[in-house]
Amino acid sequence: MISIPRKGTPEYDRLVKEHKACIDSMKGVAGCSILRCATPGDTTEISGGIHEDFLLNRVLLRMRALPAKGKLVVICTKVEKEWRIGRLSGIRGVPPVFVDDRTFSDEQEVQHEIFLMRLEEMAESDGMPEHFHEGWKRRADNWTAT
């Protein structure tokens, strides 16, 4: 079990600060890796982030392991110019729905905002048996025709 830090606690502030520092140092790098570059945008020397912060690593792993239904995702609305936040339906073929009207001009900024939103949505303690499921093998997940 891992304890998910709550807003207003020093641990939450530290986690958010580390995530933001990693996001900022990765500007100009394709994709979203939560690592710190020695020189912003240059991945030849990396440190910090998920390599050195155990709690950040665990929280991100749990976020990524959550089922698709209701998961927040980045949606590119104008190629390389504009991004928005959407929520997955969890049903194959049903498009995601925008969560609000905000637009982002930087792909890294929208990633950080999703991190903050997902951190708020997570249970205070995570990793208990009730937080896990059988995955794609379940019959009620709408991945197979019935």
38 belongs to a structural domain: yes
pLDDT of residue 139: 56
93 belongs to a structural domain: yes
- Per the listing, tokens 């990765």 go with 26
9 belongs to a structural domain: yes
Domain that holds residue 70: 2-135
Q: pLDDT below 70 — which residues of the chain?
A: 127-146
pLDDT of residue 146: 46
32 belongs to a structural domain: yes
pLDDT of residue 113: 96
Residues 6+ apart with CB under 8 A from 56: 15, 18, 19, 34, 49, 50
142 belongs to a structural domain: no
24 belongs to a structural domain: yes
141 belongs to a structural domain: no
pLDDT of residue 143: 52
144 belongs to a structural domain: no
Total number of domains constituting the chain: 1
